[in-house]
């Protein structure tokens, strides 16, 4: 994910927020950030609860740039699975960033996928049982017909 800003410069400071797609627990998160003025930026990177619209503690990164600091290169391991929030407060400065991680493409389907998976397993086991039973029934029917034909043939022998 890359971005730059702020998008609107109507106040002495702006707050820009970016929702990072869900990241699995234990996945590396890399953030490269550069502002055009030293000491004019505050960064917050934290796990985000999209249902409650709140930040989950502890935060991964919360830093206010020092008087000579214009940028940061940050590496961390995701402590929780889920979406993350990157909040950038810039004081009369512009910025650009690059956030790199591995997004979970099926995170939102985890509950539904589990239900679907259980249904598919049950359907597979049911069909396996049915076809096993049908094959056994067909073999018994074939054997019964062969026995009947061989008995009928034995009764008409001269």
Give the CATH number, domain containing residue 89.
2.60.120.380
Domain range spanning residue 147? 106-158
* Same structural domain, 7 and 72: yes
pLDDT tens, residue by residue, 55-102: 888 889 999 998 999 899 999 999 988 889 999 988 888 889 999 888
156 and 91: one domain? no
Residues 101 and 111 in one domain: no
Which tens digit of pLDDT belongs to each residue from 33-48?
A: 999 888 888 999 999 8
Asked if residue 111 and residue 62 are part of one domain, the reply reads: no
Q: How far apart are CA 1 and CA 17, in angstroms?
A: 13
Whether 38 and 71 share a structural domain: yes
My answer on whether 50 and 110 are in the same domain is no
Question: Mean pLDDT score of the chain, rounded to an integer?
Answer: 84
pTM over 0.75: no
| Burial (Cβ within 10 Å: 0-12, 13-18, ≥19) of residue 146 | exposed
Where a domain ends, among 105, 120, 142?
Answer: 105
Number of domains in the chain: 2
| 92 and 138 co-located in one domain | no
Per-residue tokens: 49: 């609860």
């Amino acid at each position: 994910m890359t971005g730059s800003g702020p998008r609107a410069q109507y106040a002495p400071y702006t707050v820009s927020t970016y929702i990072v797609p869900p990241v699995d627990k234990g996945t590396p998160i890399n953030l490269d950030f550069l502002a055009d003025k030293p000491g004019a930026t505050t960064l917050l990177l934290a796990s985000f609860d999209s249902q409650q619209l709140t930040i989950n503690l502890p935060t991964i990164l919360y830093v206010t740039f020092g008087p000579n600091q214009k940028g940061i290169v940050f590496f961390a391991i995701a402590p929780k699975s889920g979406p993350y929030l990157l909040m950038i407060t810039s004081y009369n400065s512009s910025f650009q960033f690059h956030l790199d991680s591995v997004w979970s493409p099926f995170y939102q389907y985890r509950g539904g996928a589990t239900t679907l998976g259980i249904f598919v397993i049950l359907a597979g086991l049911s069909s396996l049982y049915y076809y096993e039973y049908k094959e056994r029934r067909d073999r018994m029917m074939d054997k019964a017909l062969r026995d009947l034909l061989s008995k009928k043939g034995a009764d008409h022998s001269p």
